C-alpha cells in the first residue's frame, strides 16, 4: 500500500530534536550524579594570524584594514566535567 508523506514544518522537526536531546542529556546527567558514568562536555576553538572578518563599518573617506600574516594556527579541543576535570588536546600547524 502506498501513502503520501505527511508534510510538516521545519520548526516541528527542530522542536522534536531539541526535546529529544534535552531528555537524553537529562538522563546522562542523572547517570553521572549517581556515579554510573563520567560525563564530560566538549568544545573546540582555534586561532590564527589570518583574520576572518566578513564585513566592517567604515566612513566613506576612510580605509579600514586589518593587519594579517600568513602563519600557523593553534586549535584546542577540550572535554570538561561539572567538577572541573579537564582533558585537552592542542594542535599547532606551522604556516607555509
The predicted-structure confidence for 41-57, as pLDDT tens digits, reads as follows: 999 999 888 877 777 88
Would you say residue 83 has pLDDT above 60? yes
Please state, in angstroms and as integers, the Cα–Cα distance from residue 62 to each residue in 27, 32, 51, 59, following that order: 55, 56, 20, 5
Q: What is the pLDDT of residue 64?
A: 83
This prediction has a pTM of: 0.63
Q: What is the pLDDT of residue 1?
A: 60
Which tens digits make up the pLDDT trace of 7-20? Answer: 666 777 788 899 99
Amino acid at each position: 500500500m502506498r501513502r503520501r508523506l505527511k508534510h510538516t514544518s521545519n520548526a516541528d522537526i527542530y522542536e522534536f530534536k531539541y526535546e529529544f536531546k534535552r531528555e537524553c542529556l537529562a538522563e546522562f546527567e542523572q547517570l553521572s550524579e549517581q556515579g554510573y558514568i563520567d560525563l564530560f562536555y566538549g568544545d573546540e576553538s582555534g586561532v590564527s594570524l589570518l583574520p576572518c572578518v566578513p564585513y566592517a563599518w567604515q566612513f566613506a573617506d576612510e580605509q579600514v584594514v586589518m593587519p594579517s600574516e600568513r602563519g600557523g594556527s593553534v586549535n584546542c579541543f577540550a572535554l570538561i566535567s561539572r567538577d572541573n576535570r579537564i582533558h585537552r588536546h592542542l594542535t599547532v600547524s606551522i604556516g607555509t
